[in-house]
Amino acid sequence: MTRILIVEDEPRLRKDLADFLELTGFTAEGVATARELRQALADGSSPAVIILDVGLPDGNGFELAAEIRKSHACGIIMLTALGDSDDRIRGFESGADIYLVKHSTLREIEAAIRSLLRRTGKLPGSANGNNDQWVLDGTNWMLIAPNHRSLKLTATEFAFMSVLCNNCGEICQREDLIETVARPRANFDNRHLDAVVSRLRRKLEEHINLTVPIKVVYGVGYTFTASVVVQ
């Protein structure tokens, strides 16, 4: 999966970003300092995108962006409280591709990442075209992708996908999904639902090699954004 590195010293924001991006299909990890950023890049493998805070305890984000740009071919999104024109110009001159202020929503940040990946050609193949149809096979509990690769689903995964695919394009509320997916008398909550979705994404992307069109609607639920036939 596409790797995103979050450089943010505020623990809550760092965790929220990492958790959200994991739910939307990325591999996300977070570091809190410039030193940890350099350590994460030391093995020579660059993330696809770095989300970079300007005000770190041991480094200046503008200087770090210029440093990253010299040796790593990755996208840089600056996320900062500094929102005036001079700061934005300085950010772009330092090497940032996108400059966002910290009151941006998680969905806006995700959209910025996907836009940047499309521009750089690093966004994995997506299944959102008119001819890119998915199939949910109810007899064999299989999800078949447009590239004809398939994945055998567990009972929980099939129950989840049945709700999404039968309401394709519509937002499925968390409460409805939990009620459908949970086994009788099981202690099943939002955390369990998100874990099911996260595991399913990983399995699908490993077996199918396409971006999975399961989208999180933050605070509401999930939706399946591609064309799908339920058999």
Using CA atoms, how far apart are residues 158 and 138, in angstroms rounded to an integer? 8
- Looking up tokens 């039968």, which residue turns up? 166
Q: Tell me the backbone φ, ψ of residue 43, rounded to 5 degrees.
A: -80, 0
pLDDT at 127: 40
Q: How many CB atoms lie within 10 A of CB 197?
A: 23
**Token pair listed for 187:** 């202690």
Q: Tell me the backbone φ, ψ of residue 7, rounded to 5 degrees.
A: -110, 100
* 123: helix, strand or coil: coil
**Token pair listed for 72:** 């790593």
From residue 7, how far is each of 39, 72, 199, 217 by CA, in Å?
A: 12, 15, 25, 24
Using CA atoms, how far apart are residues 144 and 76, in angstroms rounded to an integer? 35
pTM of the model: 0.55
What is the tens place of the pLDDT at every residue in 119-172? Answer: 766 655 444 443 467 888 888 888 888 877 888 899 889 989 998 888 867 888
Using CA atoms, how far apart are residues 169 and 227, in angstroms rounded to an integer? 8
Q: Is the predicted pLDDT of residue 189 greater than 80, yes or no? A: no
pLDDT at 123: 58
pLDDT bin (cut points 50, 70, 90) of residue 104 is confident
pLDDT at 184: 60
Return mean pLDDT, the chain. Answer: 83
Name residues whose C-beta falls within 8 Å of residue 229's C-beta, 6 or more positions apart in sequence: 133, 134, 135, 136
**Token pair listed for 145:** 């992708």
